[in-house]
Structure 1
Amino acid sequence: MTDAVVAGLIAGYGVAVPVGAIAILVLGLTARTSIRVGAAAALGVATADGLYAGIAVLGGAALAGLVGPVAGPLRWIAVGVLLALAGTGAWNALRHRADPARAARTGRSLGTPARAYAGLLVLTLLNPMTILYFAALVLGRRAAQEWPARGELLFVVAAFAASASWQLLIASGGSLVGRMLSGPRGRLVTALVSSGLITVLALKVLLG
């Protein structure tokens, strides 16, 4: 079960750590409103990550009967997808910067905890790369070593907890940490850290 928890934590941080437009929106909401609004927004992001982790786990369970005959190729495909996501994240971080102005415009109507939670939940769910990321992780892991139902549940809970802890750190927008993470250098460093975590997950899937 420890393996599932560790994998979930790494997966959650891997998808949450890059500081892009969503994180800047959470930071800006906290700065303009209150920590309650920022925390609600952070939990909206984490809920989306947890939902996608759950969908990926359920999808993997539904495909369990098909995984056996194609376990080898599926494992390599999953590793390839994860490495592609890691490489794309690092490359985009080196080439582009998040748009704080756009995030500020998007956040003008999210001034209450309920609106902030719902708004960030929807915005994060609209990112198809998140479900691709979790699906590659779960299907790759199933091809290498299948978790029991309890392990899959722990994976989802750990992924949510990791995402929530990071997003709540981002929500402490008035702090020195918040300002450092939202700056150009902070966004670059967090994107590269995320790519490193995803690469570690790909190697774990490859090595079983």
Structure 2
Amino acid sequence: MTRNFLKITGIASMMIFAVSCKENPNEVDATEAETEAMATEAAVTYTVDTAASEIMWEGSKVGGTHTGTIDLKSGMVQVNGETVESGEFIVDMTSITVTDLEGESAMSLKAHLEGTAEGKETDFFNTPEYPEAKFVVTGLNGNTLEGNLTLKDVTKNVSFPVSVSYDGDKMMLTSEEFTIDRTDWGIVYGSASLTDTVKDKAISDDMKLKVNLVATK
């Protein structure tokens, strides 16, 4: 009976994992890079306040999730009236934090994600070789921001819902939670799509992100 119970539990975990991978909100379709947006002469430049801005992330595997943040290194947005016309943001991939763990466990996961742990350099983001990621705006259609996202020298165009508001000289851009497939950028470690991955130890290809950006002119 114990053996049957474990077998049923394993099957249930697999089903939950498979369903969760298909039901993520605002799942992004990564497409070929597009031409970056150009601002008009009337546009005003807002500079990103890196201390007040962050990207929140969530990754999952069978049996649990991990969460954390990533800092912006620099960035600017060009705005005409209250319309975003163009922008470029540099992400500091060496700033990854883990918020659901503490102490050595958090530092160990951070080192694995950043690729600073010996023997795990290329598993995820390999920050010694690729310390930065970049997002360049290619358009804003209604409340959908479109842009080229570059990770590890791979560039794909993505789009996700955002809200933009203004308070004096300050602009706030906040995205809804959206999901990218890390394998679109060649990050395949632990993916269930690999034949040598043990399925009940697989790491989801989906990575949830939420952007909170503050910029001033």
Would you tell me which structure has more strand in proportion to its own residues? 2
What TM bracket, shorter-length normalisation?
Answer: under 0.3
Would you tell me which structure has more helix in proportion to its own residues? 1
Higher relative contact order (CA 8 A, sep 6+): 1
TM value normalised by structure 1: 0.26
* Larger-gyration structure (1/2): 2
TM value normalised by structure 2: 0.25
